[in-house]
Chains A and B, each alone.
Chain A
Amino acid sequence: MDTVLKVEKLRKNYGNLQALKGISFEIQKEEIFALIGPNGAGKSTALRIIATLLSPTSGEVEVLGFNLKKNAEKIRERISYLPEEAGAYRNQSGIEYLRFMATFYASEPHTIEEFVKKGAQIADLGERLYDKVGTYSKGMVRKLLLARALMTSPQLAILDEPTSGLDVINSLEIRGIIREYAKQGTTVLLSSHNMLEIEFLSDRVALIDNGVILDSGTPKELKEKYGAENLEEVFRRAVI
């Protein structure tokens, strides 16, 4: 299997606060890998570093063979990132937003339109796609943003709490979309504090708490190892 992401002894300090204390993990091609842990565990910091937003204090990150410190721009061409708290430009319509973002990933007009078409399909907002984003509900914005993240078929999609703040129906839809795209060849790195969601979505998970990876493996392996019925129990036992 090809390694898409390699993280080694990654540390991140915010002043005196150690957000990440030397975490290491790898993700293989077409895998859905999840970082799970409570709020403030370091999940978002790890994802933001891999998405080239934050620079690590120490450690190495290699995305698709490119070193993060040396080739951030090349990495950006191959990944897409959905932040936990993200918005779209309120004065643009949904379709304008998708077209605006697609233009950064393609040079040919027909490719841009292909991306937009795919984005419109993923967002599934019907006629509302032509309305201003400012008029959208939270769920609609999240679907639009997920569509933006996946429409270019990135080699690595980094999704931070993809269903954050959404109702059950919208969450289910978004999980379905992520699964669909993983099948089509996109590797997914996601984070969530909703461990039941992760159990449903992920091929492998890493349990993170207080900036340290406590354990990792497939949900099945972890449940067997800790003699637990679900990942929530696994996490509780791993922390103790």
Chain B
Amino acid sequence: MRKFWNLLKKETKELINTQLIISLIFTFFLFYLMGTLVHGEMAKAAAPQEIAVWDLDSSDLSLGILKGLSSANFQIISLTARDRQEAIEKAGASNVSLLLIIPNGFEKSVLELNSMSLDTFYFIRGFSVSATSASGMVKSVIATVNDYVSNSYIKEKIPGIDPEELKNPVKNKDYVIVKDRIAEGSPAEVSSFILSQSTFLPIILMLIIVYSSQMVISAVAMEKENKTLETLLTVPINRNYIVVAKMLSSGIVGLITAGIYMVGFRFYMGGFRGNVPTSGQIDTVVQKLGLAFTPQGYLVLGVSLFLAILCGLAMAIILGVLAKDLKSAQGLLMPIVFLTLIPYLISLFSDFNSLSLPVKILLWIIPFSHPFLAFQNILLGNYLPVFYGIIYMLVVFAIMVFLAARIFSSDRVLTMQLQLKRKNLGRIKF
């Protein structure tokens, strides 16, 4: 065991080099910086929007509209101007995004049921998140105005009736059913909540598998390139230990790297969300439907994730043997990247149950698909397919490790190389 630890320590130290540490720090700060910037922009977009209003009507209705806009999170800056051009210039100078002009005779026209248009001028001063999101302001302002006008009209014409009841006489209650559980709530909200909770899983999985696999392939390729492999293979240590030490060290470094990336990514994504707390209502619905992860669920998901990583590492060590040097090792990572990308992309854009049979079979064959599928299945309480997936990954891992051990125990570790088609160089004729 002492020999194994000696090897593991060396392998880990070889992988954690200055370049890796610098690149990790750089990436982390890049994510952090981007997150902070995005957060600032989102906060600006969520803050009360200032709009300039030139009220030429000064009627009860126009004052009521301004009140309605204030209560709809708009900050009103009232303007006085000689003409429209001056109003636009004043609004432009006051740095607001929108100018609303309420024309003279507005109340009168509305009360006579004559259609009246409000002029809105939108100032585009940039294309940042906050600037572009403010474009929705126009619609929002008009909707608020329309709502206020129609409510006022109904109140005046049919007193004693709630305008909302009249405008929306038919209402519905949404119920969501998962297996034998039922809860009142919007299916769209439930789905979006679950999706928001599972956003990180595919990214974590992708990162860990690809990173760890790259480490293993590089570790074997580096031994070949630096001509240290032959010496290592003649020292008195079980060859299987060499395989395990390389896999384990790469797994550890891959996990650390992916962890740092994920913390950075969380900062970045946190910026988009503006760290808005989730509503308690949806939490209750999700709990009621049993869509929350139990400790057992987490354990099963963890096992599934771990086995997928092990499969990736075992596959990578075999691919690493095919590498001649570090340069050729980069290309050998491609099969693993593709095999991880397929379930990742499908999980992002589609649902497993709605896929055609050949695609389902393809996904099942790829060992990395199973943790992606496991997440949904565990949430829905379908444990059987998850267990089948775990058994399948165990079998794949065992076969891969057996093959890797066989390769390392034979001279194939030195003689195996990816035979790429030779270029036809042409022969010199004499």
Majority DSSP secondary structure for residues of A touching B: loop
Residue from A54, A73, A80, A83 within 8 A of B411 (CB atoms): A54
State whether the Cβ of B360 lies closer than 8 Å to any Cβ in chain A.
Answer: no
Besides A53-B230, A87-B226, 13 more A-B contacts (Cβ < 8 Å) are: A14-B415, A51-B234, A52-B233, A76-B235, A83-B230, A86-B227, A86-B228, A101-B231, A103-B2, A104-B235, A105-B235, A107-B2, A148-B231
Which of the candidate stretches A88-96, A194-202, A227-235 sits at the interface with the other chain? A88-96
Contact between A81 and B411 (Cβ–Cβ < 8 Å)?
Answer: no
State whether the Cβ of A79 lies closer than 8 Å to any Cβ in chain B.
Answer: yes
* Distance from B416 Cβ to chain A, minimum over Cβ atoms (Å): 12
Contact between B227 and A83 (Cβ–Cβ < 8 Å)?
Answer: yes
Residue from A14, A52, A103, A145 within 8 A of B234 (CB atoms): A52
State whether the Cβ of B279 lies closer than 8 Å to any Cβ in chain A.
Answer: no
State whether the Cβ of A127 lies closer than 8 Å to any Cβ in chain B.
Answer: no
Question: A residues engaging B (CB < 8 A)?
Answer: 14, 48, 51-55, 73, 76-77, 79-83, 85-92, 100-101, 103-105, 107, 145, 148
Q: Which of B3, B17, B228, B238 has the most CB of A within 10 A?
A: B228
Q: Which of A55, A82, A104 has the most CB of B within 10 A?
A: A104
- Give me the 10 closest cross-chain CB pairs, A-B, nearest first: A87-B227, A77-B236, A54-B411, A76-B236, A104-B235, A103-B6, A81-B234, A87-B226, A83-B230, A51-B234
Contact between B411 and A53 (Cβ–Cβ < 8 Å)?
Answer: yes
State whether the Cβ of B10 lies closer than 8 Å to any Cβ in chain A.
Answer: yes
| B230-245 interface with A by 8 A CB criterion | 230-231, 233-238
Residues of A contacting B237 with CB < 8 Å?
104
Residues of A contacting B2 with CB < 8 Å?
103, 107
* Distance from B240 Cβ to chain A, minimum over Cβ atoms (Å): 11
Contact between A73 and B236 (Cβ–Cβ < 8 Å)?
Answer: yes
* Identity of the chain B residue whose Cβ is nearest the Cβ of A149 in the assembled complex: B231
Contact between A104 and B3 (Cβ–Cβ < 8 Å)?
Answer: yes
State whether the Cβ of B56 lies closer than 8 Å to any Cβ in chain A.
Answer: no
Residues of A contacting B234 with CB < 8 Å?
51-53, 76, 79-81
Contact between B235 and A55 (Cβ–Cβ < 8 Å)?
Answer: no
| B401-421 interface with A by 8 A CB criterion | 410-411, 414-415
Residues of B contacting A87 with CB < 8 Å?
226-228
| B217-234 interface with A by 8 A CB criterion | 226-228, 230-231, 233-234
